[in-house]
Amino acid sequence: MKHFPVLLEEVIENLKINKNGIYVDLTLGRAGHSSEILKKLDKGHLYAFDKDFDAIKESEKKLSKISNNFTLIHSDFQNLESELKKYNIKKIDGILVDLGVSSPQLDEAERGFSYNKDARLDMRMNRNQTLDAHYIVNHYSEEELISLLKNNADVMLPQRVAKGIILNRPINTTLELVEIIKKSLPAKIVRIKNPAKAVFQAIRIAVNNELDSLNILLNQAINFLNKNGKLLIITFHSIEDRIVKKFFKSLLEQDNIDPKLPIMVEKTWKSKSFLPSKEELNLNKRSRSAKLRVLTKLK
């Protein structure tokens, strides 16, 4: 399937790209967003991260046709600070984070991300790491499974799903797991919505340590922003969006003082959010759950 970068128009518009600025794409994927950023740079530079080496290899070919003003970094984005230190980068004009799983990861059955294609349970974004979905499904305790199902995806009746997994081990493939999930839940729930989607999300997040990485990143990213610098984050499910929303809100609240006090306070932060347009939703169904949040550092 062709990869469509989500909310591309809104991302480029809100980055307000300075042709001589420094920009960081922390989720390179297949360079959908990075390509458009790079096209607008003259003496500026793009640093792009991805922990999936396949994404690094494919994107390098694509970006090289546009310009040489880019550096690709094979790393989890929680390592933003340590990686940029290697290049003596101290300030950034714009940072983009697209938290969605890329289309190639979903569409390549052997990656084990999809609940619609049969493959060995895997779900690793970084194939060099040891922990994968097969290990979690076959070795985590019932309590650990319940916890990740609840905390990573709000899975309905997580106790039943966890018990079903425990009772049917070993489980080797994605479609084996899908059948066990369906058999573990009441038929009414299965008819309303495919429960495998939330379960696969929960396991994928655990495999790739996504929520912890996001929390670490947020605290690092804001320290790099120049005046009028932007932090753009695209979320795809309520749990990660709550983390971003809460973090942005905490920064905005630092600007709030008692309105009765006779002093003026210059704001440090502002934020706004965007949803996909009707046109984008018609073009790319995978964008339907996306939300873009934009944080701007004012001083």
Please check whether residues 202 and 250 belong to one and the same domain: no
Residue that finishes a domain, picked among 165, 188, 208: 208
**Residues facing residue 50 across a β-bridge:** 74
Please check whether residues 234 and 280 belong to one and the same domain: yes
22-25 and 92-98 beta bridge pairing: parallel
50 annotated ligand-binding residue: yes
Please check whether residues 202 and 115 belong to one and the same domain: yes
Please check whether residues 41 and 84 belong to one and the same domain: yes
Structural domain includes residue 173: yes
Q: Which domain holds residue 132?
A: 109-208
Please check whether residues 69 and 124 belong to one and the same domain: no
22-25 and 225-235 beta bridge pairing: unpaired
Residue that finishes a domain, picked among 185, 208, 231: 208
Please check whether residues 114 and 154 belong to one and the same domain: yes
Residue that finishes a domain, picked among 177, 208, 239: 208
CA pair distance 57, 213, nearest whole angstrom: 23
Structural domain includes residue 97: yes
Please check whether residues 90 and 214 belong to one and the same domain: yes
- We report the CATH number of the domain holding residue 99 as 3.40.50.150
7, 279 Cβ separation under 8 angstroms: no
Please check whether residues 100 and 214 belong to one and the same domain: yes
The total of structural domains in the chain comes to 2
31 annotated ligand-binding residue: yes
Q: Using N-to-C axis directions, what is the helix angle for 142-153 and 158-167, rounded to 10°?
A: 140
CA pair distance 182, 171, nearest whole angstrom: 14
Q: Which residues contact 146 (CB under 8 A, 6 or more apart)?
A: 158, 159, 162
193, 268 Cβ separation under 8 angstroms: no
159 annotated ligand-binding residue: no
Structural domain includes residue 3: no
Give, for all 299 residues of the chain, the pLDDT tens digit: 456 899 999 999 999 999 999 999 999 999 999 999 999 999 999 999 999 999 999 999 999 999 999 999 999 999 999 999 999 999 999 999 999 888 788 888 899 999 999 999 999 999 999 999 999 999 999 999 999 999 999 899 999 999 999 999 999 999 999 999 999 999 999 998 899 999 999 999 999 999 999 999 999 999 999 999 999 999 999 999 999 999 999 999 988 765 566 666 789 999 999 999 999 999 988 899 999 999 999 99
73, 48 Cβ separation under 8 angstroms: yes
33 annotated ligand-binding residue: yes
Q: Is residue 143 within a helix (H) or strand (E), and if so which, with residue range?
A: helix 142-153
98 annotated ligand-binding residue: yes
Angle at Cα 218 formed by Cα 252 and Cα 79, nearest 5°?
Answer: 160
Structural domain includes residue 16: yes
Please check whether residues 152 and 216 belong to one and the same domain: no
